[in-house]
């Protein structure tokens, strides 16, 4: 057959072409052998008909090859034998190693996309041979070094994308001379120096994104000169000087993001010429002057963030004309005067943050006529007058911050109507008087309540026990009286949450209320409170801190233009119809067959499949048509996270899915639809360690014995040691995140949250405190850093739970004493180990007792108050294995 082809072609006299033809076929066969491209086969069909490639119109040379998103790995060098390629897309695979220099031989290449792989090393100078290249995308790899000057000759480049690597040096000056350049992205690298002065003045630049580098100098006005710029992102650099007036030339600009720099001066009034502006973010600079009314001419503006600058004057009433505005963030300036009533017309406003200014007006009665308001942050101002009763109309509100003002009057009972209030209700440091309205008890999603430092009187209403999600309370420095209601979140609080009220009594305060109150305490069944603690932890509220950090971070991120256009409330849609999946994948090849992503989505629509619920995530059990069972974690309200970090998130998940360890829960896939992300995990049928230790106490026959507990302790330690070995810090080590498989083998969960927030790569805001109540190491309170020794501490708490069968926080320990303090204080109290260890186990045999004492020693080391004194996880594993083998 080959011979026939060859001879026919020879006769027609296409010698050189036939050679090329053969070599393209041979090359494709070899490429397929190396990479295993799905759908390619060599059973005699004309390769020009194969999927994902195209031959030229008049010949049989492969001109287009698109292997994007096939999870391929292997050696891509062979592709450089397809000499006629014009269009090569290898993006979104698992290719690693250096980019082959031989790609420089693809002299016809016009489009080259190698993004979203794991290519290492430098950008090959051989790319300089690709003289016809119009688009080069090598973003999101692991490339290092400088952008080589040899590429200067690529004069036809229109799109040049190198973001998300480890590139250093500066942006070469010749990038400013590329006369066709429309798109240039180099964000998330280590680039320094200035923006080349020519950039934008030669070419018709449309998109410039350089965020998260160390760039400095001024924003050159040339960038705006041609007037074609649509998106400008310079966030998180060290730019100085002013935003040039020339910015107004670009009437098609939709997004300007220049936050977190060192910019000075005023915002040019020419901003008003940019009629299509949807997004303006300039927070955390040294900008000054007034907030210009010209913003009101940008009728499509969805987000205006000028926080943490030096703006003064009043808030222009004209801003109320911005019908599309969703977030207005002006906090941390020196603004004074009233909150303009004109805002009430902003029907789409979702977040109004005017905190930390000098506003000295009152709260407008009609504020809640804004139907979508979720964040109302007016704290740290000089706001006078009453909290209007109409505040109860803000039914969508998630957070209400009114602390540190001069508010007077009483707390309106209508606050109880804000049933969605979750993140915080803070009325502290005002002049509020009267009693606490019992209606507050209806806020069953609220996590943090602060009414401290007011003039409140009367008793704390028993009905506040309805606040089932409460973690943080502060009633201090008021004129409250009577007993503190018996309610776990109250008694778990430090006494400073109640102090400064002369006539308040009962735990956690040290003043007892006398006989009747004691009686109530005596009757107060431990188990009941226990169950509440478990309910709180189990429902994921305790994980709140870590999960919210993620969600809030993302919520603070940019508003999507898309979201603005889409006026429908996503949540309301969900019930009617199966939503369209935006992205989804199963990472493990052997599970692909068994998992149906549509069935996964469908399963999460059914309440009966729900295994547990938290404030920001729920877990469902999904039975596949194939009979396979997977566990599905549903994360909500992450639309911006998904749209802006989708690729990164997916890459992280994929990477984690390859972290193959017996004692770590492995993400097996994901689905994204609307504003929802579903994470798929293996289904672990035996619940978690909290349930095993604490709930099984009711049924002695299920009481886990010591050898089983020790093997769980070793397993968890091994999982955590492995994570640390690959430089991942877990954010929420706790017994409720230790899941148990069918053989009671422990598997540590919530890995993806840890990785998403890997502090080593993150910015300051990411290094927030995280963890579950009772497991948080003491130093987190002041270092605000999540660390490996912090993980060791939390692990120590888990080990103590295993040894003592006690919960990390129990009121029996006494005021301000958690499990760690209780155990460390045992010898000072003159208690024997038997009084700490679970006696049901330690008294069974001499051998068990000896092992438990050895393990207790390790737990004490892990929970040492000095982080540096705690052993490394690897050492912990070794010590525990010694205990196991002895």
Nearer CB in complex with ligand NAG: 276/871? 276
User: Using CB atoms, what's the residue nearest to ligand NAG?
Assistant: 137
State how far the Cα of 55 lies from the Cα of 57, in Å rounded to an integer. 7
Q: Provide the β-strand partners of residue 482.
A: 504
Cα-Cα-Cα-Cα torsion 742, 746, 752, 753, nearest 10 degrees, comes to 120
102 forms part of the interface with ligand NAG (CB under 6 A): yes
Q: Is 161 in the site for ligand NAG (CB under 6 A)?
A: yes
Q: Which two tokens stand for residue 368?
A: 């809640």
Choice from 38, 121, 132, 145 touching ligand NAG (CB under 6 A): 145
Burial of 15 (0-12, 13-18, 19+ CB in 10 A): exposed
Does the protein bind ligand NAG through residue 105 (CB under 6 A)? yes
Peptide bond into 508 cis (omega under 30): yes
**Nearer to ligand NAG among residue 155 and residue 834 (C-beta):** 155
Residue 37 beta carbon to ligand NAG: minimum distance, rounded to whole angstroms: 12
Give 585 or 615: the residue with its C-beta nearer to ligand NAG. Answer: 585
Q: What is the DSSP-derived secondary structure letter of residue 276?
A: T
Interatomic CA distance for residues 253 and 298, integer angstroms: 11
Q: Shortest distance, CB of residue 254 to ligand NAG, whole angstroms?
A: 8
Q: Which one, 168 or 783, has the nearer CB to ligand NAG? A: 168
Q: Decide: is 405 part of the binding site for ligand NAG (CB under 6 A).
A: no
Residues 278-317 that bind ligand NAG (CB under 6 A): 299-300
Query: Which range in 94-102, 467-475, 667-675, 816-824 contacts ligand NAG by CB under 6 A?
Result: 94-102
Please say whether the beta carbons of 249 and 272 come within 8 A.
no
Cα 830–chain centre separation: 46
CB atoms within 10 A of CB 406: 14
Select the residue interacting with ligand NAG from 14, 97, 481, 591 (CB under 6 A). Answer: 97
Angle at 69 (CA atoms; ends 68, 75), nearest 5 degrees: 70
Q: How far apart are CA 90 and CA 78, in angstroms?
A: 13
Nearer to ligand NAG, 159 or 327 (CB): 159
43 binds ligand NAG (CB under 6 A): yes
Binding span for ligand NAG by CB under 6 A among 137-145, 236-244, 477-485, 685-693: 137-145
Residue list 552-581, contact with ligand NAG (CB under 6 A) = 565
- Nearest distance from residue 14's CB to ligand NAG, in Å? 13
> In the bound complex, what is the minimum distance in angstroms from residue 299's beta carbon to ligand NAG?
6
Concatenated DSSP letters for 169-234?
SB--GGGGG-TT--EEE--SS--BS---TTTTTSS---EEE--SS--EE---THHHHTS---EEE-
C-beta separation of 829 from 770 below 8 A: no
Q: Which residues of 500-531 are buried (b: 16+ CB within 10 A; e: fewer)?
A: ebeebbbbbbeeebeeebeeeeeeeeeeebbe
Q: Per the structure block, which two tokens stand in for 307?
A: 């926080």
Q: Which of residues 110-129 bind ligand NAG (CB under 6 A)?
A: 113, 115-116, 126
Question: If DSSP codes are grouped into helix, strand and coil, which group holds residue 130?
Answer: coil
| Residue 378 C-beta: closest distance to ligand NAG, Å | 15
Task: Select from 168, 481, 496, 711 the one that contacts ligand NAG (CB under 6 A).
Answer: 168
Under rule CB under 6 A, residue 169 binds ligand NAG: yes
Q: Indicate the residue among 144 and 264 with the shorter CB distance to ligand NAG.
A: 144
Least separation, in Å, of the C-beta of 873 and ligand NAG?
Answer: 29
Q: Which of 170, 183, 172, 173 is nearest to 238 (CA)?
A: 170
Nearer to ligand NAG, 68 or 881 (CB): 68
- Which of 183, 319, 335, 723 touches ligand NAG (CB under 6 A)? 183
Closer of 644 and 821 to ligand NAG (Cβ) = 644
Token pair, residue 705, equals: 């014995």
Q: Let me know if 576 is a catalytic residue.
A: no
- Window 58 to 77, contacts with ligand NAG (CB under 6 A): 58, 66, 68-69, 75, 77
Residues 346, 347, 352: CA angle, nearest 5 degrees: 55
Interface with ligand NAG (CB under 6 A), residue from 148, 276, 392, 871: 276
Residue tagged 């001419």 (tokens): 297
| Integer angstrom CA distances of residue 546 from 354, 679, 731, 753, 793 | 26, 17, 7, 8, 17
DSSP H or E run through 597: helix 597-603
Site for ligand NAG in 349-378 (CB under 6 A): 360
Size of the residue set binding ligand NAG (CB under 6 A): 39
In whole angstroms, what is the distance from residue 123 CA to residue 145 CA? 8
- Our finding on whether 340 is near ligand NAG (CB under 6 A) is no
Which CB, 276 or 778, lies closer to ligand NAG? Answer: 276
Using the rule CB under 6 A, is 81 a contact of ligand NAG? no
Choices 98-106, 502-510, 570-578, 652-660; region in contact with ligand NAG by CB under 6 A: 98-106
- Residue ranges in 599-628 that form contacts with ligand NAG under rule CB under 6 A: none
By CB under 6 A, is residue 334 in contact with ligand NAG? Answer: no
Report the distance separating Cα 641 and Cα 760, nearest Å.
19
* 604, two tokens: 């999460």
From 40-48, 449-457, 498-506, 624-632, give the range in contact with ligand NAG by CB under 6 A: 40-48
Coil, strand, or helix at residue 493?
coil
37-45, 535-543, 702-710, 876-884 -> range binding ligand NAG (CB under 6 A): 37-45
Under the binding rule (CB under 6 A), the answer on residue 585 touching ligand NAG is no
- Which residue is catalytic, options 283, 732, 818, 864? 732
Binding region for ligand NAG (CB under 6 A): 41, 43, 45, 57-58, 66, 68-69, 75, 77-78, 89, 91, 97, 101-102, 104-105, 113, 115-116, 126, 135, 137, 144-145, 159, 161, 168-169, 183, 275-276, 299-300, 336-337, 360, 565
What residues are annotated to the active site?
A: 732
């Amino acid at each position: 057959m080959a011979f026939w082809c060859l001879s026919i072609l020879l006769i027609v006299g296409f010698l050189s072409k036939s050679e090329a033809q053969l070599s393209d076929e041979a090359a494709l066969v070899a490429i397929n052998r190396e990479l295993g491209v799905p759908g390619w086969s060599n059973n005699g069909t004309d390769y020009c008909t194969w999927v994902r490639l195209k031959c030229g119109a008049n010949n049989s040379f492969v001109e287009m090859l698109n292997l994007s998103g096939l999870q391929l790995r292997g050696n891509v060098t062979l592709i450089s034998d397809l000499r006629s390629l014009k269009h090569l897309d290898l993006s979104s695979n698992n290719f690693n190693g250096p980019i082959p220099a031989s790609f420089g031989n693809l002299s016809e290449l016009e489009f080259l996309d190698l993004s979203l792989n794991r290519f290492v090393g430098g950008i090959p100078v051989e790319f300089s041979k690709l003289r016809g290249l119009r688009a080069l995308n090598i973003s999101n790899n692991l490339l290092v070094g400088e952008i080589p000057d040899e590429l200067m000759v690529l004069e036809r480049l229109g799109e040049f994308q190198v973001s998300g690597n480890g590139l250093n040096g500066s942006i070469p000056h010749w990038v400013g001379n590329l006369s066709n350049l429309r798109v240039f992205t180099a964000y998330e690298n280590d680039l320094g120096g200035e923006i080349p002065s020519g950039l934008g003045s030669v070419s018709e630049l449309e998109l410039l994104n350089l965020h998260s580098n160390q760039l400095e100098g001024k924003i050159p006005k040339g960038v705006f000169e041609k007037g074609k710029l649509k998106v400008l992102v310079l966030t998180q650099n060290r730019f100085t000087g002013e935003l040039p007036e020339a910015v107004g030339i670009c009437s098609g600009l939709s997004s300007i993001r220049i936050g977190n720099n060192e910019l000075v001066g005023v915002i040019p009034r020419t901003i008003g010429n940019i009629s299509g502006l949807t997004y303006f973010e300039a927070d955390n600079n040294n900008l000054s002057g007034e907030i210009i009314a010209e913003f009101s001419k940008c009728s499509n503006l969805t987000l205006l963030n000028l926080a943490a600058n030096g703006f003064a004057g009043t808030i222009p009433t004209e801003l109320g004309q911005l019908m599309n505005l969703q977030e207005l963030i002006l906090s941390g300036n020196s603004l004074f005067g009233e909150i303009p009533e004109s805002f009430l017309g902003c029907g789409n406003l979702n977040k109004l943050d005017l905190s930390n200014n000098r506003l000295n007006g009152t709260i407008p009665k009609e504020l809640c006529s804004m139907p979508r308001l979720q964040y109302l942050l007016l704290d740290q101002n000089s706001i006078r007058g009453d909290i209007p009763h109409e505040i109860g109309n803000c039914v969508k509100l998630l957070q209400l911050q009114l602390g540190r003002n001069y508010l007077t009057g009483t707390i309106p009972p209508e606050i109880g109507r804000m049933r969605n209030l979750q993140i915080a209700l803070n009325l502290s440091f005002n002049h509020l008087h009267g009693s606490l309205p019992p209606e507050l008890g209806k806020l069953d999603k609220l996590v943090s309540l602060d009414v401290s430092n007011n003039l409140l009187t009367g008793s704390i209403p028993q009905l506040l026990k309805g606040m089932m999600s409460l973690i943080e309370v502060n009633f201090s420095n008021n004129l409250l009286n009577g007993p503190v209601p018996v309610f776990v979140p109250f008694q778990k609080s430090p006494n400073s949450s109640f102090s400064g009220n002369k006539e308040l009594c009962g735990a956690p305060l040290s003043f007892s209320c006398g006989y009747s109150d004691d009686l109530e305490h005596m009757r107060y069944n431990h188990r009941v409170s226990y169950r509440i603690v478990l309910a709180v932890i189990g429902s994921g509220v305790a994980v709140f801190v870590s999960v919210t950090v993620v969600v809030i971070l993302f919520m603070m991120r940019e508003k999507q233009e898309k979201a603005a256009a889409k006026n429908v409330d996503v949540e309301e849609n969900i019930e009617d119809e199966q939503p369209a999946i935006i992205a989804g994948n199963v990472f493990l090849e052997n599970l692909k067959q068994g998992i149906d992503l549509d069935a996964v989505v469908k399963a999460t629509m059914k309440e009966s499949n729900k295994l547990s619920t938290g404030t920001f995530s729920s877990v469902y059990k999904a039975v596949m048509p194939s009979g396979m069972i997977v566990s599905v974690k549903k994360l909500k309200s992450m639309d911006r996270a998904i749209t802006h970090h989708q690729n990164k998130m997916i890459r992280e998940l994929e990477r984690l899915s390859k972290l193959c360890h017996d004692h770590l829960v492995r993400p097996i896939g994901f689905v994204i639809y609307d504003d929802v992300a579903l994470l798929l995990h293996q289904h672990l049928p035996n619940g978690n360690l909290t349930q095993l230790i604490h709930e099984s106490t009711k049924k002695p026959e299920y009481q886990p014995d010591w050898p089983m507990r020790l093997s769980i302790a070793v397993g968890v330690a091994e999982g955590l040691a492995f994570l640390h070995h690959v430089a991942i810090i877990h954010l929420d080590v706790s017994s409720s995140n230790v899941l148990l498989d069918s053989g009671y083998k422990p598997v540590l969960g919530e890995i993806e949250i840890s990785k998403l927030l890997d502090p080593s790569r993150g910015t300051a805001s990411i290094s927030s405190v995280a963890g579950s109540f009772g497991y948080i190491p003491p130093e987190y309170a002041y270092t605000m850093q999540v660390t490996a020794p912090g993980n060791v501490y939390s692990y120590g708490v888990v080990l103590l739970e295993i040894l003592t069968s006690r919960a990390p926080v129990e009121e029996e320990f006494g005021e301000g004493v958690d499990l760690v303090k209780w155990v460390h204080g045992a010898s000072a109290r003159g208690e024997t180990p038997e009084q700490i260890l679970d006696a049901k186990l330690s008294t069974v045999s001499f051998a068990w007792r000896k092992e438990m004492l050895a393990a207790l020693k390790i737990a004490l080391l892990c929970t040492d108050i000095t982080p540096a004194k705690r052993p490394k996880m690897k050492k912990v594993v070794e010590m525990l294995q010694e205990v196991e083998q002895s």
